[in-house]
Each structure stands twice: as C-alpha cells, then as structure tokens.
C-alpha cells in the first residue's frame, strides 16, 4: 500500500510538471527580461527578426496584404517566409507546415521541391550553400517540429545563419563548420537536413 501511494504521488508530480512546462512554453511567459516579445533583435537586408521568448510561444498569425500566410508570430517559419516574400518576392505553393516539413526527404539532391517552390539540396550536396538559402533542421526531443533559418554568410569552411525563435537566451546568429569532401558540401551539424534555394539555375562545384 505504501509503494502504491508513492507511485501515485510520483505520477501526479510528473503530470503537474508536464502540464506546467506546456503552459509556460506555449504561453506568454518571458524568462529574459532584457527583451519584450515582438521586439526587433536583428535584420537581414532590411527584414527584421523579432524576439519570441519561449520557442512554443505564438502571437497570432501574420498574413500578408494579399492574403498569403506568413506563419505564426514570431516563430522561425514566419521569419523565413516573410523574408522570402518581402526580399525575394516568393510565395510557397504550400504555405503551411512545420519547419522540418520544408525539407522533402523523398527527393534526391538538387531536385525541385514543388510544395515550397524552391530547389532542394541535401546536406552533403554537390551544390555549395549560398547566402539567402533556407537551412532546415530536423526536430529533437525538446522541439519535434524542427527549425529553419536563413544562411547569411558562406565561406569555404563555415556558414553563418540568421534565425528567429531560437530560444529566450540564444543568439539570432549562429555559425556552423562547412566542409567539402569528395566534391560534396556538408554542414557539420547532425540535425541539418539540407537547404532550399529560389534560383532555378543549379550551380555545382566542378572538380
């Protein structure tokens, strides 16, 4: 009987903790007092990145004047779609889906992703990443929906990304090593699935 009571108590505590975590992560709770939700943090080519506090927080849907769905404020998806809409005049054929859904794992490298209206390159591609490519990350335990960012800078050994909603204390910029082995370009981060590009001309690295 004593063991049963302890087990029930543990289950209740875990349930309460799980509920509290969901409420905090999806609500307006802001653990970083340096910034307010919706405050501009960074920009690329005039397109702003906004602070979102907890990664699960949303602040309503952002819709373009022509009715195009830009995504939930201020999620990572909203920034990259807003950037492509404002900067590159691009609207995705399918304007919905989570970040990791942008990448179609069934497509071979250097294929056209019809749902996104963009060329898709698998991490380990013959095509080197370029500035303004979208970089898609797979999900993980803390965030099963994945992440998407924009590549802002590319060298022969590294890329820099700009991102929205990386977490309340994370930077809007991050750097990842880039390597070329056997004429294939790889971003050295295990959750990096690949990148998307608007250009219709595929440029590959020649030996």
pLDDT of 199 > 60? The answer is yes
Q: Which helix (H) or strand (E) holds 94?
A: none
User: How far apart, in whole angstroms, are the C-alpha atoms of residue 35 and residue 178?
Assistant: 32
Mark whether 105 and 176 lie in a shared domain: yes
Mark whether 42 and 13 lie in a shared domain: no
pLDDT confidence of residue 23: 46
Q: Which helix (H) or strand (E) holds 15?
A: helix 2-26
pLDDT confidence of residue 51: 98
Neighbours of 135 (CB within 10 A): 26
205 inside domain: no
User: How far apart, in whole angstroms, are the C-alpha atoms of residue 72 and residue 42?
Assistant: 18
203 inside domain: no
Mark whether 148 and 173 lie in a shared domain: yes
Query: What one-character DSSP code corresponds to residue 124?
Result: S
| Count of structural domains, the chain | 2
130 inside domain: yes
Query: What one-character DSSP code corresponds to residue 107?
Result: S
* Tens-digit pLDDT profile for residues 129-162: 999 999 999 999 989 999 999 999 999 999 999 9
Mark whether 72 and 3 lie in a shared domain: no
pLDDT of 42 > 50? The answer is yes
Mark whether 154 and 52 lie in a shared domain: yes
Residue among 101, 185, 97, 96 at smallest CA distance from 139: 101
Mark whether 98 and 4 lie in a shared domain: no
Mark whether 133 and 189 lie in a shared domain: yes
* pTM score of the predicted model: 0.85
Mark whether 5 and 68 lie in a shared domain: no
3-state SS class at 76: helix
55 inside domain: yes
Instruction: Assign residue 144 the CATH number of its domain.
Output: 3.90.1720.10
User: How far apart, in whole angstroms, are the C-alpha atoms of residue 167 and residue 163?
Assistant: 10
Mark whether 109 and 7 lie in a shared domain: no
Mark whether 68 and 150 lie in a shared domain: yes
Q: Assign 205 a pLDDT band (cuts: 50, 70, 90).
A: very low
Mark whether 12 and 81 lie in a shared domain: no
* Tens-digit pLDDT profile for residues 48-102: 999 999 999 999 999 999 999 999 999 999 999 999 999 999 999 999 999 999 9
201-206 long-range Cβ contacts below 8 angstroms, 24+ apart: 202/110, 202/119, 202/127, 203/127, 203/128, 203/130, 204/110, 204/126, 204/127, 205/126, 205/127, 205/128, 205/180
pLDDT of 15 > 60? The answer is no
What average pLDDT does the segment 172-192 reach?
97
40 inside domain: yes
pLDDT of 204 > 80? The answer is no
What rounded mean pLDDT belongs to the chain? 89
Structural domain including 192 reads 32-197
Mark whether 38 and 4 lie in a shared domain: no
pLDDT confidence of residue 142: 86
Half-sphere exposure of 47 (CA within 13 A, CB side): 20
């Amino acid at each position: 009987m004593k063991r049963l009571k302890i087990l029930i108590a543990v289950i209740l505590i875990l349930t309460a903790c799980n509920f509290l975590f969901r409420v905090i992560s999806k609500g307006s709770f802001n653990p970083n007092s340096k910034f307010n939700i919706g405050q501009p943090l960074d920009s690329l080519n005039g397109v702003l990145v906004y602070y979102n506090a907890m990664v699960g927080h949303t602040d309503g849907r952002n819709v373009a004047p022509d009715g195009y769905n830009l995504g939930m404020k201020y999620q990572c998806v909203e920034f990259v779609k807003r950037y492509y809409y404002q900067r590159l005049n691009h609207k995705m054929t399918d304007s919905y889906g989570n970040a990791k859904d942008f990448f179609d794992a069934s497509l071979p490298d250097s294929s056209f992703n019809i749902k996104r209206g963009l060329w898709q390159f698998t991490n380990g591609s013959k095509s080197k990443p370029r500035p303004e490519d979208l970089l898609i990350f797979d999900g993980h335990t803390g965030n099963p929906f994945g992440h998407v960012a924009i590549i802002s800078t590319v060298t022969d050994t590294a890329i820099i990304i700009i991102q929205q909603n990386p977490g309340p204390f994370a930077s809007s910029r991050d750097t990842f090593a880039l390597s070329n082995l056997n004429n294939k370009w790889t971003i050295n981060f295990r959750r990096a699935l690949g990148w998307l590009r608007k250009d219709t001309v595929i440029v590959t690295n020649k030996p």
